[in-house]
Every structure is written in structure tokens, then in C-alpha cells.
């Protein structure tokens, strides 16, 4: 097929061999590249990615070991094993083999080896977050309430700090929210917060924030019409399997929700390659595995192909593996019962080839050989063939720091995502509300204390005024009594007046007595009548 991707030459010893070609119109039916360590999976992956890019199909791949970054540079005739690549090309009939680079964009969730990839908590949504954290139905309900309240109140949930603040608010106001939305318990909120802390400890703080990734930046082509190869630096990310699963599932979900339905296009809109795919499923909650299976099954109609790369085909859950139509199986080793089970499982998944004992062949494959079964034009699986894999044309090995920096500088996304934006969101708004409430409480307490102090002071002043009034009244009373008493001069005058009156009275009395009663003065003055007259006159002159 001229419009297909040449994978390699199948059954090379039979009539010159049978070309194994991946039909671009069936490339969105997903695939699997499996095989033990050192059997050539990465080289096969690199060659297929190059072919997709050359045909204008953008690619996303997770670079787990760090060596796939070399896809951005052309190979070299002086490179290690260059002679083997040339010999393989000649062996399988590639006459125009030459070295070539590929347009690439480097990405890194940590922002160290590529453009940062971020999304907001709101875009992730409560359902997907609940599945990623393995929450039960009650906890998932509480998380949904937190999202709903934030939406109604206009509180942006951008990063994990926003979500933690929102959950803390829900715990503090559990009674009010329970009345409005349904049961909210502090125990459920605490369980969610603990799961978020685990996600944050694995680097989740780097993933959630702004500017959020525009998914269309993964769908770019260069000026020559070649699809960009989006290389995710995942060597550090592999140490945080929960974050890795979070990112990949979000990315698939975002594509599914964003891209329109296209059915089976002439070529895929985008192709994903998930290296070390077993990390996506190890210790994953059942709900998460179900979600991955659902997205993989449905995203095909969006024109997106998903290819899992793993050591053992049984690493992929059966429900997911059943969606993988294109298969490249490198050698497996039968060292353990699990290995033997994997060999049997691999053999049973291929369309039977009467000329090939698959169970035996899969243990005998050399480096660069694989059992290949690809979907045919009518959608049916092709007969499995032992195949010599075509060599890649780009560098086998990583780029150095200088080369990576140059590629970053000429990236079509340069400067768009490199600086984080921290705008006002739920964390800041709730913190401001809390500070305002605390300030109001403090002001109320201060006013209460001030009012109490003022009342105490007023009471004290009233008592002081009352005491002063009492004291003043006493002084006024004393003054009034003193004012009623005669002065010294008055007493002297009164005394003189009494003395004078007494003297005059005696004289008058004496005279009257003599006049009335006659006789000598001594007898008259000492008589009874004289005394009576003196008494009356004395009283008159007092």
C-alpha cells in the first residue's frame, strides 16, 4: 500500500518476503508493541513514529528512558551500529535509505527538559479526579459539591491549592452546605484532602495551574507538512506513577471531548505512544482502568490512535488489549510461569499462520525481529508474520543539553507555556474572605471592649460627680448654718445692747418705782414692784 507505513519485511525467506505495511486508514484502531528488554522495541517505535511524521500525522510519545529525544536529529554514518542499520535496510529492500531528522517539540510536566504541561483543576473535573484518587461514592459526592459550590460562587479552581482551600471551606461550613446540597462530612473531606496530598507529593503541583495546555498545540505540522513529534520527558515522571496516569488519562479525555467525530479518516489526526504502559495500570483502581478502556474504545472515532509499548502483553488489561488491532510482538523469554503465560497469550491473540509456530517463534526472535499482525484494508487482522523490522533514519540515542536548548528556542510553542501565571482564584478569594471575617470579629471584639471600657469610665465619672455633689451639698449646708450665725461684731453689739438695755431698764424701773411707790431709792429698787418693772423693761430691750 503506497499510503501505508512500512513496518518491515515479513517471511523474508519465502518468495522474497511479504511487506508488512500499516494502513493509515486503520492506524486509529490502536496497537501494541511488546517484547522483553533489549529486543528492539524502542527502535521499532522510533521507526514507526518517523513514518507517521513524514506523512503529516502529529505524534505524541512518552520518553521514559530519555533516548527517544534523538528522533529530532538525523542519524549519522559514524554512529554506533550505523553499519547494522544500513545492512538491515539493504536486506529488506530499502534502496533509498538515508538519515533524516523530524520536527519535534519537547514537553516536561516539571518544566525542566521541555515546555511545561499544565491543566486546571476545573478542566480535570470532579469525576476524573475522583477516579484517579480512588474515591468512594460518598467522597466523590462531596468532591462534586465542592466543584458545584465553587462554580456557583465564581471561585476559580486552578491549582491544588485552590481545591484544598475549597475543601477546607466545605469542612468549616459542612452544616450549611449539607442543608443546601446534601450530606457533607468532615471525615469525607479529610479523606479527599489526604489523597490530594499524595498526588501533590508526586509533583501534582507542577501539573495543575496556568497557562493550561491548548490541546491543538499537539496537532501541529511544520512548513514542509511533516507532523510534529511531541516528546514528553518522562524519565523523572516515571517515579510518580499516579501523576503519570493522571496526565495520560486527562490527555486522552481532553482529546475525546475536544476533537470532532471523524469516523475512520484517511490518516489519523494524532497518534499516541505510551511507553512502559504497565505503569499506567499497576495498582490502578478498577474505576480508573474502566475509564481508560472507555476512552480508548471511543477515541478511535475522533481519529486518534493509541499504541501501548510494554515488556509483556499481559501487562495490558484484557478489556483494553481487546481494542488493539495492530500488533508488533518482539521476543519473549520463557524463564518464569508468568513468562510462559505471556507467550501463550501472545500466540492466541494473533491470526493463525499455518506456516508459523508462534509459541516457538516468539522465544527465538532475534534483536530487530518481531511477529507482526496488522489490520487489513477491510479491518480484519492480517496473518501473523515473522518480520525483519525497518531501521529508523533519525539518531538512536538522546540529544545533548545544547541540542535540546536549540530545539526549544525554535519550537512553535516557545514562550507560550514557560512562565506560570498565578491569577486570583479560589485560594486567594477564600483567604481574603477569611481575613475579612477575622478582621470583622476582631473589630467587633475591639468595639465591645471599647464600649465596656467607656461604660466603666462613665460609671466611675458618675460616681465621682455624685460624690462631688454630696460633698458640695455638705459644704453648702455648713455654709448656710454658718451664714445664719451672728458675726463677732453682731454679738458684741447685741451684748452691748443688752447691757445698755439692762442698765436703762433698771434706771427706768427705779424711777418708776419711786414715782409709784415712793420711798427711798434702795428700798424702791429692791422692792417687788421694782423687780417686776425691770423684768418687763428688760424683756422689751433684748
The whole-number mean pLDDT for each consecutive block of 10 residues of the chain, a chain of 542 residues, reads 82 82 95 93 95 97 91 94 93 92 96 94 90 88 95 94 94 91 92 91 88 95 96 88 82 90 93 86 74 88 94 89 93 86 87 91 94 94 95 95 94 94 90 83 86 90 89 86 72 67 62 58 51 57 52
Q: Which residues pair with 392 in a beta bridge?
A: none
Q: Which residues, 6 or more positions from 238, have their beta carbon under 8 angstroms from its beta carbon?
A: 64, 244, 276, 279
Spatial CA neighbour of 201 closest among 149, 262, 144, 133: 133
As a whole number of angstroms, the distance between CA 354 and CA 388 comes to 19
Q: Are strands 326-329 and 31-34 parallel, antiparallel or unpaired?
A: parallel
If we measure between CA atoms, which residue out of 196, 207, 128 comes closest to residue 165? Answer: 196
From the list 65, 53, 41, 56, the residue with the least C-alpha distance to 100 is 53
Residue with cell 459550590: 149
Q: List the grid coordinates of 424.
A: 486570583
Alpha helix locations (H) across 259-387?
A: 278-281, 286-299, 318-321, 337-349, 358-364
Query: Which residues, other chains included, contact 137 with Cβ-Cβ below 8 Å and sequence gap of 6+?
Result: none
Cβ density class 373-412: b for 16+ within 10 Å, e for less:
bbbbeeeebbbbbbbbbbbbbbbbbbbeeeebeebbeebe
Closest CA to 107 of 164, 62, 68: 62
SS3 356: coil
Buried b (16+ CB within 10 A) or exposed e, 273-288: bbbbbbbbbeebeebb
What span, in angstroms and rounded, lies between the C-alpha atoms of 99 and 111?
A: 30
pLDDT of residue 478: 85
pLDDT for 525: 47
pLDDT of 141: 94
Which residues make Cβ contacts (< 8 Å) with residue 462, sequence separation at least 6? none
Q: Where are the beta strands (DSSP E) in 330-464?
A: 369-373, 385-389
**pLDDT value of position 304:** 95
> Listing from the earlier edge strand, what are the strands of the sheet with 304-310?
18-22, 5-10, 385-389, 369-373, 326-329, 31-34, 304-310, 270-274, 59-63, 229-233, 104-107
Strand ranges inside 49-195, DSSP E: 59-63, 104-107
pLDDT at 345: 84
Kindly provide the b/e burial profile for residues 445-473, where b requires at least 16 CB atoms within 10 angstroms of the residue's own CB. Answer: eeeeeeeeeeeeeeeeeeeeeeeeeeeee
Q: What was the pLDDT predicted at 522? A: 47
Q: Rounded to the nearest 5 degrees, what angle is found at the Cα of 128, between the Cα atoms of 123 and 133? A: 120
Closest-CA residue to 276 (of 102, 67, 113, 104): 67
Task: Tell me the C-alpha distance between 165 and 149, whole Å.
Answer: 13
Give the per-residue pLDDT at 21.
96
Q: Is the pTM value of this prediction over 0.85?
A: no
534: left (phi over 0), alpha (psi -120 to 50) or beta: alpha
Amino acid at each position: 500500500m503506497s499510503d501505508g507505513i512500512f513496518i518491515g519485511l515479513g517471511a523474508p525467506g519465502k518468495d522474497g518476503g511479504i511487506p508488512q505495511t500499516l494502513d493509515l486508514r486503520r492506524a486509529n484502531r490502536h496497537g501494541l508493541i511488546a517484547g522483553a528488554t533489549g529486543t528492539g522495541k524502542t527502535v521499532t517505535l522510533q521507526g514507526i513514529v518517523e513514518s507517521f511524521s513524514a506523512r503529516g500525522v502529529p505524534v505524541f510519545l512518552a520518553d521514559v528512558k530519555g533516548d527517544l529525544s534523538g528522533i529530532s536529529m538525523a542519524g549519522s554514518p559514524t554512529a554506533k551500529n550505523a553499519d547494522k542499520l544500513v545492512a538491515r535496510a539493504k536486506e529488506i529492500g530499502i534502496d533509498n535509505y538515508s538519515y533524516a531528522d523530524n520536527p519535534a517539540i519537547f514537553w516536561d510536566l516539571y518544566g525542566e527538559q521541555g515546555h511545561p504541561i499544565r491543566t486546571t483543576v476545573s478542566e480535570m473535573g470532579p469525576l476524573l479526579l475522583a477516579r484517579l484518587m480512588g474515591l468512594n461514592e460518598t467522597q466523590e459526592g462531596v468532591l462534586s459539591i465542592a466543584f458545584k459550590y465553587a462554580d456557583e460562587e465564581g471561585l476559580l479552581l486552578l491549582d491544588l491549592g485552590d481545591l484544598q482551600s475549597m475543601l477546607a471551606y466545605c469542612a468549616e461550613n459542612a452544616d450549611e452546605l449539607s442543608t443546601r446540597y446534601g450530606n457533607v462530612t468532615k471525615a469525607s473531606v479529610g479523606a479527599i484532602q489526604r489523597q490530594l496530598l499524595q498526588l501533590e507529593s508526586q509533583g501534582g503541583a507542577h501539573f495543575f495551574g496556568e497557562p493550561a495546555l491548548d490541546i491543538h498545540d499537539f496537532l501541529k505540522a511544520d512548513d514542509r507538512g511533516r507532523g510534529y513529534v511531541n516528546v514528553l520527558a518522562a524519565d523523572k515522571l516515571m517515579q510518580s506513577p499516579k501523576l503519570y496516569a493522571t496526565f495520560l488519562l486527562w490527555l486522552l479525555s481532553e482529546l475525546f471531548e475536544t476533537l470532532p467525530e471523524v469516523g475512520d479518516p484517511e490518516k489519523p489526526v494524532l497518534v499516541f505512544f505510551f511507553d512502559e504502559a504497565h505503569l499506567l495500570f499497576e495498582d490502578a483502581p478498577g474505576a480508573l482502568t474502566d475509564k481508560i478502556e472507555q476512552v480508548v474504545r471511543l477515541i478511535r472515532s475522533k481519529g486518534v490512535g493509541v499504541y501501548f509499548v510494554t515488556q509483556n502483553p499481559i501487562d495490558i488489561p484484557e478489556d483494553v488489549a481487546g481494542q488493539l488491532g495492530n500488533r508488533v510482538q518482539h521476543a519473549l523469554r520463557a524463564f518464569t510461569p508468568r513468562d510462559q503465560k505471556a507467550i501463550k497469550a501472545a500466540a492466541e491473540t494473533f491470526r493463525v499462520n499455518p506456516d508459523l509456530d508462534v509459541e516457538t517463534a516468539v522465544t527465538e526472535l532475534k534483536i530487530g525481529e518481531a511477529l507482526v499482525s496488522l489490520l487489513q484494508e477491510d479491518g480484519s487482522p492480517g496473518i501473523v508474520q515473522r518480520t525483519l523490522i525497518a531501521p529508523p533514519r533519525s539518531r538512536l540515542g538522546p540529544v545533548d543539553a545544547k541540542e535540546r536548548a536549540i530545539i526549544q528556542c525554535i519550537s512553535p510553542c516557545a514562550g507560550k507555556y514557560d512562565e506560570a501565571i498565578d491569577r486570583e482564584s479560589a485560594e486567594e478569594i477564600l483567604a481574603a474572605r477569611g481575613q475579612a471575617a477575622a478582621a470583622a470579629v476582631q473589630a467587633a471584639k475591639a468595639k465591645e471592649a471599647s464600649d465596656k471600657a467607656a461604660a466603666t469610665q462613665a460609671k466611675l465619672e458618675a460616681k465621682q460627680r455624685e460624690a462631688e455633689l454630696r460633698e458640695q451639698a455638705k459644704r453648702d449646708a455648713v455654709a448656710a448654718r454658718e451664714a445664719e450665725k451672728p458675726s463677732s461684731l453682731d454679738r458684741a453689739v447685741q451684748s452691748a445692747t443688752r447691757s445698755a438695755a439692762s442698765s436703762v431698764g433698771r434706771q427706768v424701773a427705779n424711777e418708776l418705782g419711786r414715782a409709784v411707790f415712793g420711798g427711798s431709792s434702795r428700798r424702791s429698787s429692791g422692792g417687788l414692784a421694782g423687780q417686776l418693772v425691770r423684768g418687763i423693761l428688760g424683756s422689751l430691750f433684748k
